[in-house]
Amino acid sequence: MNVTEVATDFSCYPASPDGLDEIVSVYRQSFDEDPVFQWLFPDAETRPSSLKEFFTVMVGHTFAHGGSVLRTEDYGAVSMYFPPDAVEQSEETRDRLLDSLRDELGSRSDRPVHLLMMLSASHPHDLPPHYYGTFVAARPRYQGGGLGTRLKKCLFALADEDRAGAYAEASSPRNLALYERLGQRRLGPALTLPDGPPIFPIWRPPSTVAGRTHPDTVHGGS
């Protein structure tokens, strides 16, 4: 079962690098009020441009290093992820990502670089093969409508096909509660940013039987 077949069952679609501008637009609109991104970019006036620059780098890096992006119709919501064979990245690859952020963001790069270094250092190395969902976002007019849930369910279905787990980080207690309702659970203590909000590692263990989460469950949640 390939990505396209699984995604179609969940009314979501694999995005391509040609859609980078649309993908970045979703993230730019979605994270302006997210507590982690308010910490990353405390200046409200420059935050939209900072989000655009940050996610241009992150989406490009994802496509270039074995990751993918799922989207709903008309790019209402998007989700970046790495499959099991692309989760582990070399130190050189990580350094190039951090250098790209420094080049793109200049003096605004210190906190994003700190965040990514913390997430990399905190990612457990003893987990079984797993998908790593990095950023899920829905355009503001669609938030609360279930699109983000649909993409999470689609990613879980891909993981189930491979008998793999699903790892991510929740950027707020609200997101943590949603992901827990979808079957992920906290994994260890919260990560702490300097004078910033907590981030919650979350984990969904591998399914013991290959098969897709039933599509009828996709449409609930936020």
Expressed as residue numbers, the domain containing 40 is 3-217
Instruction: Give the pLDDT score at 1.
Output: 52
Report if residue 162 sits inside a domain: yes
Q: Name the domain count of the chain.
A: 1
Instruction: Return the exposure string of 159-192: e unless at least 16 CB atoms fall within 10 Å of the residue's CB, then b.
Output: bbbbebbbbbbbbeeebbebbeebebeebeeebe
Angle value at C-alpha 25, between 201 and 119, nearest 5 degrees: 20
Query: What CATH number does the domain containing 149 carry?
Result: 3.40.630.30
Report if residue 222 sits inside a domain: no
Instruction: Give the pLDDT score at 144.
Output: 85
The model's pTM is: 0.89
Report if residue 91 sits inside a domain: yes
Report if residue 158 sits inside a domain: yes
- CA 218, 24, 21, 69: dihedral to nearest 10 degrees? -40
Using only C-alpha atoms, what is the Rg of the chain? Answer: 16
- Summarize the confidence of residues 85-92 as an average pLDDT: 96
Report if residue 42 sits inside a domain: yes
Write out the two tokens for 53.
């620059």
**137 Cα distance to chain centroid:** 8
Write out the two tokens for 222.
């936020």
Q: Could you read off the pLDDT of 90-123 as tens digits, one per residue?
A: 999 999 999 999 999 999 999 999 999 999 999 9
- Summarize the confidence of residues 34-57 as an average pLDDT: 97
Instruction: Give the pLDDT score at 11.
Output: 76
Instruction: Give the pLDDT score at 10.
Output: 59
Report if residue 184 sits inside a domain: yes
Q: Could you read off the pLDDT of 134-177 as tens digits, one per residue?
A: 999 999 998 888 898 999 999 999 999 999 999 999 999 988 99
